[in-house]
Amino acid sequence: MYRIGIIDDAKSERDDIQVSVLDNVGWNAEVEFKEYELEGRTREEIVGEIRQDVEEGMIHALIVDFKLDTTADVIEGWEIIEFMHEETPEFPVVIMTNAPDESKRSQHTDADKVYAKKVFLKPDLDITKELVNNIMLNMEKYTSRRKELEERLEICLKRLDENGASQETLEEVITVENELSRYKQIYQTTVDTALDMSDLKEAFEELDKYEKLLG
């Protein structure tokens, strides 16, 4: 089951997005949707809800209207896109817009993830089927890689617990956590990711020297 978050201030467009996806989803994939409430909310509340849903695996892709008219004084579509790119750059985000050329030129968007509403909101078009297929493939790729990294991290942490800290295991933990942070926000790492690896190696070298002196 995949769940797609939708951020659009026009109900008719939110409905049309769902129709386009469901009519073209293919390979019998199960898809649900979450429409984010925007009215009467602060930027922090909106961003916080998205962040929590990504962290808990409640959504697997996000479709965002590039221009949110009714919430422009609170948050704009490009701000959400920028926020997602900074926090979880591998999370699938699709930008919906009436002006694709303008959106593609923006520093906040990737050109291949900008979909024109006049195309995507017409479910019978062949190109719409292709665009929906891209969304599905990106969600599959994202969830598969995230699961793989989470399982790998669990194995590393179990090794640390059973065998104690070693330079090799700690380096692997840092590597996995750094990669996983591109798929979901990691608020507390096992090892301080800001620690320079050369410092870590030096620390182990010093520890070896002390052990030899004591031995």
**According to CATH, what is the number of the domain 2-144?**
3.40.50.2300
Output the pLDDT for position 189: 61
Backbone angles phi, psi at 28, to 5 degrees: 50, 30
Confidence band, pLDDT 50/70/90 cuts, at residue 210: low
The stretch 118-123 carries a mean pLDDT of 95
- Whether 69 has a pLDDT exceeding 50, the answer reads yes
What angle (nearest 5°) sits at the alpha carbon of residue 148, between those of residues 94 and 27?
A: 55
* CA 39 to chain CA mean position, Å: 24
Least confident of 6-10, 28-32, 123-127, 195-199: 195-199
Q: Is 28 in contact with 58 (CB distance < 8 Å)?
A: no
Q: Check residue 130 and give its pLDDT.
A: 95
Which tokens sit at 111?
Answer: 């050109």
Has residue 193 got a pLDDT over 50? no
Domain extents in the chain: 2-144, 145-214
pTM: 0.81
Q: Are 74 and 38 in contact (CB under 8 A)?
A: yes
Residue 187 pLDDT exceeds 90: no
Q: DSSP letters along the chain, please?
A: -EEEEEE-S-HHHHHHHHHHHHHH--TT--EEEEEPP-TT--HHHHHHHHHHHHHTT--SEEEEES--GGGTTT--HHHHHHHHHHH-TTS-EEEEES-HHHHHHSTT--GGGEEEHHHHT-TTSHHHHHHHHHHHHHHHHHHHHHHHHHHHHHHHHHHHHHH---HHHHHHHHHHHHHHTTTS--SS-SS-TTS-HHHHHHHHHHHHHHHHHH-
Quick one: pLDDT band at residue 27, thresholds 50, 70, 90?
A: low
